[in-house]
Amino acid sequence: MKTLPIVLGILSTVGAGFCEPVDTQFGFDRPATIEWITGEQIEIEWNDVLDSRCATGATCVWEGEVTVSVDVVVDGVRTEDVEITLHGSEFARAVAWVDGYRIHLASVGPYPNLDKETQRSEYVATVVVSPVTDAELHDGFSVLNTQWRLQAFGKIGEETQTLATSQVSITFEVSDIGRGSIRGSGGCNGFTGSVEAVPTGAIEISNLGFTRMACGSPTGVMEQEDRFFAELPNVIGFTMVGASKLIMPFTTSDDEVGTMIFDQVAPTAVASASWAQVKSHLGTR
């Protein structure tokens, strides 16, 4: 692909804790450089962008897509022409594995406008980069199949702790082919949904349903729950940190990246609506 040759680069060098996802926004300055605490370094050099998304103001029979082509250098070893694509429901195309790293394309802007041609200097891309862990390689989707308690969530690097007196949880039941269901609690109401995942770590949560109760305590529980439920369908991937911590990045309404940070918990320790309650009170939020 040699359409619209654009050399994109990270705006600054990023230092990162190993295994934790790092979001990086790209412009025209220089290649992306992420230095992990292990001393390993990954560089991302952006080569091409092909943007066929349906422009604002246009009438289209197809929503289109945007594809970026990058060269990835891990400790001096180069992998060329790695393509990552944003295209609606084809969420699996947004992630690439390169030499033990997951590179997840979260957004490319600006969105095309029929009345204004996008200049090369205006393009900005955001990716989430994380190492692929041994647990993911050895256990596949089964690493997800337990109960998790939300510890913090919000914009990446600025996550806020959840209320200590309110347990927000999620339980996965994912088959070997990456399809299954989720259920859990937002701290007051229960929820269920469908989930689809691919081995590269991309994930899609859909068909969410919620109970409709109101809780007066603890203070702030409903506001926290509303935020959590609003971000669940925006989750784009998962990363394991060891065998007991799950991090799920999500995209925000302003094309920034957030993370949900979960710890594994014993099933009896999770305060959530029972499965029977969820089914009997299920509604669409």
* pTM, entire model: 0.78
Question: What is the rounded average pLDDT of the residues 30-51?
Answer: 82
Total domain count, the chain: 2
Give CB contacts under 8 A, 24+ apart, made by 169-177: 169/265, 169/270, 169/271, 169/272, 170/262, 171/146, 171/147, 171/267, 171/270, 171/272, 172/144, 172/145, 172/146, 172/148, 173/145, 174/141, 174/142, 174/144, 174/145, 175/141, 176/140, 176/141, 176/142
Helix (H, G, I), strand (E, B) or coil at 105: strand
For residues 84 and 143, membership in a common domain is answered with no
Q: What is the mean pLDDT of the chain?
A: 82
Is the pLDDT at 165 greater than 50? The verdict is yes
Domain CATH for 235: 2.40.128.270
For residues 35 and 108, membership in a common domain is answered with yes
Amino acid at 225: E
For residues 92 and 178, membership in a common domain is answered with no
Q: Which residue among 100, 132, 164 closes a domain?
A: 132
Residue with more model confidence, 222 or 254 = 222
Residue with more model confidence, 45 or 175 = 175
Q: Which residue among 109, 132, 155 closes a domain?
A: 132
For residues 119 and 165, membership in a common domain is answered with no
> What pLDDT, on the 0 to 100 scale, is given for residue 205?
95
Q: Which residue among 94, 111, 132 closes a domain?
A: 132
For residues 116 and 171, membership in a common domain is answered with no
> What pLDDT, on the 0 to 100 scale, is given for residue 183?
96
Question: What is the rounded average pLDDT of the residues 206-225?
Answer: 94
Expressed as residue numbers, the domain containing 70 is: 5-132
| Tokens (6 digits) for 67 | 């594809």
> What pLDDT, on the 0 to 100 scale, is given for residue 9?
31
Domain CATH for 86: 2.60.98
> What pLDDT, on the 0 to 100 scale, is given for residue 5?
30
> What pLDDT, on the 0 to 100 scale, is given for residue 130?
86
For residues 45 and 154, membership in a common domain is answered with no
Q: Smallest Cα–Cα separation from 281: which of 189, 215, 207?
A: 189
For residues 177 and 236, membership in a common domain is answered with yes
